[in-house]
Amino acid sequence: MSVLIAIPARYASTRYPGKPLVPLTGATGKAMTLIERSWRAACSVSGVDQVVVATDDDRIRNAAEGFGAEVVMTSETCQNGTERCAEAHAVLGGGYDIIVNLQGDAPLTPHWFVEDLITGLRAAPGAGVATPVLRCDGDALNSLLNDRKHGRVGGTTAVFARDNSAMYFSKEVVPFTSDTFAGDTPTPVFHHVGVYAYRPDALAAYPGWPIGPLEQLEGLEQLRFMENGRKVLCVEVGAKGRQFWELNNPQDVPKIEEMMASMGLE
Protein backbone atom coordinates (compact mmCIF):
# COMPACT_ATOMS: atom_id res chain seq x y z
CA MET A 1 0.00 0.00 0.00
CA SER A 2 1.47 3.33 -1.06
CA VAL A 3 1.94 5.95 1.67
CA LEU A 4 2.20 9.74 1.47
CA ILE A 5 3.23 11.90 4.42
CA ALA A 6 1.99 15.47 4.17
CA ILE A 7 3.16 18.08 6.70
CA PRO A 8 0.57 20.87 6.81
CA ALA A 9 2.07 24.19 7.87
CA ARG A 10 0.54 27.64 8.07
CA TYR A 11 2.10 30.89 9.17
CA ALA A 12 -1.00 32.60 10.57
CA SER A 13 -1.52 30.48 13.68
CA THR A 14 -3.92 32.11 16.14
CA ARG A 15 -2.04 31.00 19.25
CA TYR A 16 1.47 31.25 17.85
CA PRO A 17 1.91 33.21 14.58
CA GLY A 18 4.92 32.13 12.54
CA LYS A 19 5.29 28.92 14.54
CA PRO A 20 6.67 26.74 11.68
CA LEU A 21 9.68 29.05 11.35
CA VAL A 22 10.54 29.19 15.06
CA PRO A 23 14.14 27.95 15.59
CA LEU A 24 14.74 25.10 18.00
CA THR A 25 18.24 24.41 19.33
CA GLY A 26 19.25 20.79 19.81
CA ALA A 27 21.87 19.03 21.91
CA THR A 28 24.74 20.08 19.66
CA GLY A 29 23.78 23.76 19.78
CA LYS A 30 22.52 23.67 16.19
CA ALA A 31 19.31 25.57 15.53
CA MET A 32 16.77 24.34 12.99
CA THR A 33 13.26 25.59 12.36
CA LEU A 34 10.27 23.69 13.64
CA ILE A 35 9.20 22.82 10.08
CA GLU A 36 12.64 21.40 9.24
CA ARG A 37 12.68 19.27 12.36
CA SER A 38 9.18 17.99 11.55
CA TRP A 39 10.27 17.19 7.98
CA ARG A 40 13.32 15.30 9.26
CA ALA A 41 11.03 13.33 11.58
CA ALA A 42 8.82 12.44 8.61
CA CYS A 43 11.79 11.37 6.51
CA SER A 44 12.88 8.94 9.23
CA VAL A 45 9.67 6.90 8.88
CA SER A 46 10.16 3.63 6.99
CA GLY A 47 7.89 2.40 4.21
CA VAL A 48 6.88 5.87 2.99
CA ASP A 49 6.77 6.68 -0.73
CA GLN A 50 6.71 10.50 -0.60
CA VAL A 51 7.03 13.33 1.95
CA VAL A 52 5.76 16.84 1.20
CA VAL A 53 5.25 20.09 3.08
CA ALA A 54 1.78 21.50 2.39
CA THR A 55 1.47 25.24 2.91
CA ASP A 56 -0.15 28.43 1.59
CA ASP A 57 2.67 30.73 2.67
CA ASP A 58 5.69 31.72 0.57
CA ARG A 59 7.87 32.19 3.67
CA ILE A 60 7.31 28.58 4.67
CA ARG A 61 7.73 27.38 1.08
CA ASN A 62 11.05 29.19 0.71
CA ALA A 63 12.34 27.85 4.03
CA ALA A 64 11.24 24.29 3.23
CA GLU A 65 12.72 24.28 -0.26
CA GLY A 66 15.90 25.70 1.27
CA PHE A 67 16.48 22.57 3.33
CA GLY A 68 15.48 20.24 0.49
CA ALA A 69 11.81 19.50 1.11
CA GLU A 70 9.25 19.02 -1.64
CA VAL A 71 6.47 21.61 -1.25
CA VAL A 72 2.84 21.51 -2.36
CA MET A 73 1.12 24.90 -2.36
CA THR A 74 -2.45 24.82 -1.09
CA SER A 75 -5.16 27.45 -0.79
CA GLU A 76 -5.57 29.94 2.05
CA THR A 77 -9.12 28.68 2.61
CA CYS A 78 -8.02 25.42 4.24
CA GLN A 79 -9.41 25.54 7.77
CA ASN A 80 -7.13 22.93 9.31
CA GLY A 81 -4.41 20.41 8.58
CA THR A 82 -6.80 17.70 7.45
CA GLU A 83 -8.32 19.97 4.78
CA ARG A 84 -4.80 20.95 3.71
CA CYS A 85 -3.76 17.30 3.42
CA ALA A 86 -6.87 16.56 1.36
CA GLU A 87 -6.01 19.38 -1.03
CA ALA A 88 -2.34 18.37 -1.22
CA HIS A 89 -3.31 14.78 -2.06
CA ALA A 90 -5.60 16.06 -4.81
CA VAL A 91 -2.91 18.40 -6.19
CA LEU A 92 -0.53 15.46 -6.39
CA GLY A 93 -3.09 13.55 -8.43
CA GLY A 94 -4.28 11.22 -5.65
CA GLY A 95 -3.57 7.53 -5.89
CA TYR A 96 -2.11 6.93 -2.43
CA ASP A 97 -3.61 4.18 -0.28
CA ILE A 98 -2.79 5.90 3.00
CA ILE A 99 -2.17 9.60 3.59
CA VAL A 100 -0.43 10.57 6.82
CA ASN A 101 -0.86 14.01 8.34
CA LEU A 102 2.26 14.67 10.40
CA GLN A 103 1.49 18.07 11.83
CA GLY A 104 4.34 20.53 11.78
CA ASP A 105 4.31 21.22 15.51
CA ALA A 106 5.48 17.79 16.70
CA PRO A 107 9.20 17.51 15.90
CA LEU A 108 9.74 14.94 18.67
CA THR A 109 7.40 12.41 17.03
CA PRO A 110 9.35 9.11 16.95
CA HIS A 111 9.31 7.22 13.67
CA TRP A 112 7.70 4.18 15.29
CA PHE A 113 4.63 6.24 16.27
CA VAL A 114 3.92 6.75 12.57
CA GLU A 115 4.93 3.24 11.54
CA ASP A 116 2.65 1.70 14.19
CA LEU A 117 -0.13 4.05 13.11
CA ILE A 118 0.11 2.94 9.47
CA THR A 119 0.17 -0.71 10.54
CA GLY A 120 -2.89 -0.16 12.72
CA LEU A 121 -4.92 1.43 9.94
CA ARG A 122 -3.96 -1.29 7.48
CA ALA A 123 -5.25 -3.90 9.94
CA ALA A 124 -8.61 -2.12 10.49
CA PRO A 125 -10.56 -2.02 7.20
CA GLY A 126 -13.60 -0.54 8.97
CA ALA A 127 -11.73 2.60 10.00
CA GLY A 128 -11.25 5.56 7.68
CA VAL A 129 -8.95 7.39 10.06
CA ALA A 130 -6.41 6.36 12.69
CA THR A 131 -4.45 8.40 15.23
CA PRO A 132 -1.90 7.49 17.92
CA VAL A 133 -2.46 7.76 21.66
CA LEU A 134 0.17 7.57 24.36
CA ARG A 135 -0.60 6.63 27.96
CA CYS A 136 0.46 9.47 30.26
CA ASP A 137 2.71 8.79 33.20
CA GLY A 138 2.41 10.89 36.33
CA ASP A 139 4.83 13.56 35.11
CA ALA A 140 3.04 13.99 31.77
CA LEU A 141 -0.40 14.11 33.39
CA ASN A 142 0.71 16.64 35.99
CA SER A 143 2.17 18.80 33.22
CA LEU A 144 -1.14 18.72 31.33
CA LEU A 145 -3.07 19.59 34.48
CA ASN A 146 -0.67 22.44 35.29
CA ASP A 147 -1.09 23.91 31.81
CA ARG A 148 -4.88 23.87 32.14
CA LYS A 149 -4.64 25.40 35.62
CA HIS A 150 -2.79 28.35 34.07
CA GLY A 151 -5.09 28.69 31.07
CA ARG A 152 -2.82 26.96 28.55
CA VAL A 153 -3.51 24.01 26.30
CA GLY A 154 -0.62 21.63 26.86
CA GLY A 155 -2.04 18.85 24.73
CA THR A 156 -5.15 16.93 23.73
CA THR A 157 -6.44 13.86 25.52
CA ALA A 158 -8.39 10.91 24.09
CA VAL A 159 -11.03 8.53 25.39
CA PHE A 160 -11.72 5.35 23.44
CA ALA A 161 -13.77 2.16 23.61
CA ARG A 162 -12.64 -1.43 24.07
CA ASP A 163 -12.33 -1.85 20.30
CA ASN A 164 -10.05 1.23 20.28
CA SER A 165 -12.61 3.36 18.44
CA ALA A 166 -12.49 6.94 19.66
CA MET A 167 -15.27 8.13 21.94
CA TYR A 168 -14.03 11.69 22.39
CA PHE A 169 -11.05 14.01 22.17
CA SER A 170 -10.66 17.13 24.30
CA LYS A 171 -8.27 19.92 25.13
CA GLU A 172 -9.40 19.40 28.71
CA VAL A 173 -7.81 16.55 30.63
CA VAL A 174 -10.19 13.59 30.30
CA PRO A 175 -11.21 11.30 31.81
CA PHE A 176 -11.38 13.01 35.18
CA THR A 177 -9.53 11.30 37.99
CA SER A 178 -9.21 12.44 41.59
CA ASP A 179 -6.18 10.20 42.09
CA THR A 180 -2.67 11.60 42.13
CA PHE A 181 0.19 10.00 40.24
CA ALA A 182 3.91 10.53 40.63
CA GLY A 183 6.85 10.18 38.27
CA ASP A 184 6.66 7.31 35.83
CA THR A 185 3.48 5.79 37.32
CA PRO A 186 1.00 4.85 34.55
CA THR A 187 -2.26 6.81 34.59
CA PRO A 188 -5.70 6.30 32.98
CA VAL A 189 -5.23 9.40 30.81
CA PHE A 190 -4.07 9.12 27.19
CA HIS A 191 -2.28 11.95 25.40
CA HIS A 192 -3.45 12.27 21.81
CA VAL A 193 -0.47 12.43 19.48
CA GLY A 194 -1.19 14.91 16.69
CA VAL A 195 -0.68 12.56 13.76
CA TYR A 196 -3.39 11.10 11.51
CA ALA A 197 -3.51 8.39 8.87
CA TYR A 198 -6.43 8.51 6.44
CA ARG A 199 -7.87 6.29 3.79
CA PRO A 200 -8.36 8.39 0.65
CA ASP A 201 -12.18 8.18 0.60
CA ALA A 202 -12.50 9.47 4.17
CA LEU A 203 -9.99 12.25 3.53
CA ALA A 204 -11.69 13.33 0.29
CA ALA A 205 -15.09 13.49 2.01
CA TYR A 206 -13.88 15.59 4.93
CA PRO A 207 -13.74 19.09 3.36
CA GLY A 208 -17.35 18.74 2.20
CA TRP A 209 -18.72 18.32 5.70
CA PRO A 210 -19.71 21.42 7.71
CA ILE A 211 -17.95 22.20 10.95
CA GLY A 212 -20.01 20.64 13.74
CA PRO A 213 -20.61 22.00 17.24
CA LEU A 214 -18.02 19.77 18.91
CA GLU A 215 -15.27 20.69 16.44
CA GLN A 216 -16.24 24.35 16.89
CA LEU A 217 -16.12 24.16 20.68
CA GLU A 218 -12.91 22.15 21.04
CA GLY A 219 -11.07 23.37 17.96
CA LEU A 220 -10.14 19.75 17.16
CA GLU A 221 -10.36 18.75 13.51
CA GLN A 222 -10.68 14.99 14.13
CA LEU A 223 -14.07 15.51 15.77
CA ARG A 224 -15.54 16.28 12.34
CA PHE A 225 -15.06 12.65 11.35
CA MET A 226 -16.85 11.48 14.48
CA GLU A 227 -19.67 14.00 14.10
CA ASN A 228 -20.27 12.56 10.64
CA GLY A 229 -20.33 8.93 11.76
CA ARG A 230 -16.82 7.95 10.65
CA LYS A 231 -14.88 5.63 12.92
CA VAL A 232 -11.61 7.03 14.24
CA LEU A 233 -9.23 4.31 15.39
CA CYS A 234 -6.95 5.04 18.35
CA VAL A 235 -3.63 3.21 18.07
CA GLU A 236 -1.75 2.98 21.35
CA VAL A 237 1.96 3.59 20.92
CA GLY A 238 4.84 3.15 23.31
CA ALA A 239 7.25 5.86 24.34
CA LYS A 240 10.19 3.42 24.67
CA GLY A 241 11.88 5.91 26.95
CA ARG A 242 11.44 8.75 24.45
CA GLN A 243 9.93 12.02 25.60
CA PHE A 244 7.18 13.52 23.47
CA TRP A 245 5.66 16.99 23.43
CA GLU A 246 3.98 19.29 20.91
CA LEU A 247 4.84 22.93 20.38
CA ASN A 248 1.56 24.71 21.06
CA ASN A 249 2.68 27.84 22.90
CA PRO A 250 5.84 29.99 23.06
CA GLN A 251 6.36 28.56 26.55
CA ASP A 252 6.85 25.11 24.97
CA VAL A 253 10.06 26.11 23.16
CA PRO A 254 12.44 25.78 26.14
CA LYS A 255 10.63 22.60 27.23
CA ILE A 256 11.16 20.97 23.83
CA GLU A 257 14.76 22.18 23.61
CA GLU A 258 15.42 20.66 27.05
CA MET A 259 13.89 17.37 25.88
CA MET A 260 16.03 17.37 22.73
CA ALA A 261 19.14 18.01 24.81
CA SER A 262 18.32 15.19 27.23
CA MET A 263 17.78 12.78 24.32
CA GLY A 264 20.93 13.91 22.52
CA LEU A 265 18.99 15.04 19.44
CA GLU A 266 20.94 17.28 17.06
Q: Which of 150, 139, 214, 221 is nearest to 180 (CA)?
A: 139
Using CA atoms, how far apart are residues 246 and 163, in angstroms rounded to an integer? 27
Q: Are strands 50-55 and 129-137 parallel, antiparallel or unpaired?
A: unpaired
Residues in the chain: 266
pLDDT at 197: 98
Chain segment 82-108, per-residue pLDDT in tens: 999 999 999 999 999 999 999 878 788
**pLDDT, tens only, 254-263:** 888 888 888 8
CA 54 to CA 248: how far, in whole Å? Answer: 19
Type of residue found at 110? P
Percentage of the chain modeled with pLDDT above 70: 99
Beta-ladder partners of 186 = 137
Highest mean pLDDT among 5-19, 154-168, 232-246: 154-168
State the DSSP string of 192-204.
EPSEEEE-HHHHH
pTM score above 0.85? yes
